Each structure stands twice: as C-alpha cells, then as structure tokens.
Chains A and B, each alone.
Chain A
Amino acid sequence: MTLTEKYKPLTDAAAASGVSDLQVREQDNVLYIDGVAPNGEVKDQLWAKYGEIDPNFTGGDLVLDIKTSIDANVTKVKVTTESSNLNIRKGPGTDQPIVGKAAHGEVITLVSRANEQWWQVRTADGEEGYAYAQYLTPEA
C-alpha cells in the first residue's frame, strides 16, 4: 500500500472539512500533508483521524503540519496550559530569560504573532514578552 493510500482517510477528511492551502506530497518515503484548518476543532479531528491510522504516531512516514487559521483582528488570548502558569520570556525561545508569568485561564493581550511557535503578549500588569503559542487560545 502506498503512503497516499494509507493516509487517504486523512487527506479526504482534510479536503472535506474546509482545510485551505492543502498540499499532499511524498518525498523519500515520507508523506507531507500541509494546510490551514478553519479552526482548532478541525485540526483536532484530523489528528484523531491520524490516530485511527497510526495510534501512537510511530510510523515515521507522515509529517502532518496543520496550522489553524486565526482572525487578524484577534487581540485577546486565553492561557490554556494544563494547570500551571505560562512563562513570558524576553525573546522567542526557552533559552530566553523569563520576564513574567500569566496564570492558567487568564486572558491576556496578543501583541503580535512573531512566528508559528512564539507569540508576543502583554499581561494586565503590563508585563510584555513572548509566550509559547501552543498554550494560547484566541478569544472569539
């Protein structure tokens, strides 16, 4: 079975759920699926589909890079860590000094999205810096 066939339920679901800029390419026995999901739920559904095909993601034959579309007007983000405070750092990287913290569940200001991984934020106390984007959820 080819990789395209193996992951067809996933690519079909991506196409059917409104993923934009969808690209599916195979290179050196790895399938690369890129796209932008309309929201976080669609992204999670696609990962659930991936989990049905490869429960613990051990195949090593797929790179699933589904980003989430974010409205440019979003200015508030919620801290969605598991339970802990979120570090705010001077620059985009865990090697950067911590300049502040945001509490779990706190809604803070999104200043800019520096890159996919690190967003520039500001707390109500005026602490400004970079936080790991995976722990931030845009407020509608």
Chain B
Amino acid sequence: MTKVFLALLVAGTVSFVSCKPKDADVKASVDKVLVINPDYSNAVVTVTDGVATLTGEVKDDATKAALEASVKNVKGVKSVVNNTVVPAPVAPPVIAADDPLTAAVKDATKDYPGVMATVKDGVISLTGTIEKSKLVKLMQALNGLNPKSIDNKLTVK
C-alpha cells in the first residue's frame, strides 16, 4: 500500500514538474508571434495550464481578432482569453459655427481698436496693427473660441 502511494506521489510530482516548463515554452512560442507583427507590440501574454491570456492594447477590433486567431494556432495553446483593449478613438477638434464665432471674436477684439477681424468657415482673419505687449492676450482669447485656424496678418508695433 505504501509503495503504491509512493509511486503515485512520484508520478504526481513528475507530471507536476513536467507541466511547468510547458507553459513557459508555450509562452515563448506566443511571444515569437507577438514580436513578428508590430501591431502586436503592446500586447502581452501569460500562459497558465495551456490557457493563453492576452492583455495590453491593440489599435482596432480587426487587429484584436487577428491576434487571437494567431495565438490560437500556436502549438500547446488550448484556449485564448483575449483581454486586449482597443483605445477609444480621439474625438476630432471642435470647430465653432461662424455666427457664434463672429460674435465671440467681436467680444474678444473690442478692446483692440487697431485690430480688424473677420470670420469665414471657422477661420479668423486678423488685419491691422497691435502692440507686441497686447498680442499674446488677444491671441489667447481668440485661440479659446474654437476656431478652425487663425490667419494672423497683424502688423506688430
């Protein structure tokens, strides 16, 4: 009885030991896949009992699916848990409509008598003259009004 128990214990230990490097080997194989494709450079894999868990960031859903399929094909991977995330798209800049922008530009330029300003298609056009010391303050105000751009042709005194 004791011998059988010992045999089982030894067998168990051997199988336990042989399992460990296997996960490491599988991880190494998956890492090779990740290295090849630059789209996968921010993805990270861990392998436990043949289950590959992917974390990190990929650029879009197609890349996420392609990565998962590639990792599934790696020898020794039983299944894939895909926890990679696709970052939220960056919102485009807000551009003010011409009417509110024209009113806001009028308010902002009121105290600069030498400055003429017009607005068309979101672009603020500046002509006239301004003192250097006042230029930054005016530009700070105009840049805060959500213009498409500022065409500054002011002569700086």
- Which A positions have Cβ atoms within 8 angstroms of B? 23, 25, 27-28, 30, 32, 34, 43-44, 47, 51, 56-58, 60-61, 63-67, 93-95, 116-118, 132, 134
User: How many Å from the CB of B112 to the closest CB on chain A?
Assistant: 11
A63 near B136 with CB under 8 A, answer no
Residues of B within 8 A of A61 (CB): 149
Residue pairs across A and B with Cβ atoms less than 8 A apart, 9 shown, are A30-B149, A47-B139, A57-B152, A58-B152, A63-B150, A65-B143, A94-B110, A95-B106, A117-B141
**Among candidates B90, B107, B137, B143, residue contacting A64 with C-beta atoms closer than 8 Å:** B143
User: How many Å from the CB of B7 to the closest CB on chain A?
Assistant: 64
A134 to B143, CA, bound (A): 13
Task: Please name the residue on chain B nearest to A46 by beta carbon.
Answer: B140
Residues of B within 8 A of A95 (CB): 103, 106
Could you tell me the dominant secondary structure of chain A's interface residues?
Answer: mixed
A61 to B147, CA, bound (A): 11
Known A-B contacts A94-B106, A134-B141; the reply to A56 vs B93 at CB < 8 A is no
B140 near A134 with CB under 8 A, answer yes
Task: Please name the residue on chain A nearest to B152 by beta carbon.
Answer: A58
Residues of A within 8 A of B145 (CB): 117
A44 to B150, CA, bound (A): 19
From 70 to 112 in chain B, residues with beta carbon under 8 angstroms from any chain A beta carbon are: 90-93, 103-104, 106-108, 110
**Among candidates B93, B141, B148, B151, residue contacting A25 with C-beta atoms closer than 8 Å:** B93
A23 to B146, CA, bound (A): 14
* B154 contacts A by Cβ under 8 Å: yes
Known A-B contacts A47-B136, A132-B107, A134-B137; the reply to A65 vs B144 at CB < 8 A is yes
A67 to B140, CA, bound (A): 9
Residues of B within 8 A of A65 (CB): 143-144, 146
